[in-house]
Amino acid sequence: MNRSTSTNKDGKVASNGQKFAQNGKRSGGKLQERGEKKVELGKKVTLLRGISIIVGTIIGAGLFISPKGILKHSGSIGMSLIIWIACGVLSLFGALSYAELGTCIKKSGGHYTYIMEAFGPQMAFFRLWIDLIAIRPAAMAVISLAFGEYILEPLFMPCSIPPMAVKLATAIGFSKYDSYCFITQ
């Protein structure tokens, strides 16, 4: 028997590795209809994993990239702190909105599911493609460039970092990250 299937005393098999209980339920899922197997995503985001995702996403690169630019363009420390507080409140409103959506719509899928419920499948599909073509690659480029700049900064401490060195470090870091993601999936 391979790792992806399991059986119980009655011989029922769950393709995702979960065993069915005697009452017709899986140990962590919904009722099965007349012995048919449903394919569905399991809820595996615990409190610790959720906090880790949020902290990694928000604090990840933005905390290290934006303070210098805000301070440079605002002109004073007080104004930059006001801008940071205003952006924090705006982010809090966005997080509370997603928390509300997550409690109202109990389906997995995130943005796609929320938009599909509100505006229909065409808008959800359009948003999914925009995310795939523009949003995620742009975010990955910003994070990769920040990695390249910050990994080289200690080596070129008194001088400015050559742009080609940043691009090379970014490409190496991105290729290592990409191969790591490929291996872990």
Nearest Cα to Cα of residue 12 among 22, 3, 4, 2: 22
Residue 22 in contact with residue 44, Cβ under 8 Å? no
The per-residue pLDDT for 8 is 45
**Residue ranges of domains in the chain:** 1-40, 45-104, 107-185
Of 40, 42, 37, 33, nearest to 13 (Cα)? Answer: 37
Three-class DSSP category at 14: strand
Contact 145, 170 (CB under 8 A): yes
Among the residue ranges 4-13, 42-51, 57-66, 148-157, the one predicted with the least confidence is 4-13
Phi and psi torsions of 26, nearest 5°: -80, 160
Asked if the model's pLDDT at residue 139 lies above 70, the reply is yes
CA 96 vs CA 92, 107, 133: distances in Å: 6, 18, 27
In order of 47, 55, 57, 64, 99, the CA distances from 51 in angstroms are 6, 6, 10, 19, 13
CA 166 to chain centre: 25
Q: Which of 10, 120, 104, 161 is nearest to 112 (CA)?
A: 120
Tokens of 60: 């990840």
Is residue 167 predicted with pLDDT exceeding 70?
yes
Q: Cα(38)–Cα(35) distance, rounded to whole angstroms?
A: 10
Give per-residue pLDDT as tens, 83-126. Answer: 888 988 998 898 898 888 888 888 888 888 989 998 999 999 99
- Total Cβ atoms within 10 A of residue 185: 5
CA 42/CA 5 separation, integer angstroms: 15
So what's the pLDDT on residue 93?
92
Average pLDDT, the chain: 75
Tell me which of 7-21, 53-67, 72-86, 158-172 is least confident. 7-21
Both ends of the chain: CA-CA distance in Å?
A: 21
| Whole-number pLDDT of residue 148 | 85
Indicate the DSSP class of residue 134.
Answer: I
pLDDT of residue 125: 93
Structure-token pair, residue 62 = 């933005």
Examine the pLDDT at 21 and tell me if it is beyond 50.
no
Higher pLDDT, 103 or 33: 103
pLDDT tens track for 43-91: 777 888 878 777 776 666 566 667 778 888 888 899 988 988 898 899 8
The pLDDT, as a whole number, for residue 11 is 46
pLDDT at residue number 57: 67
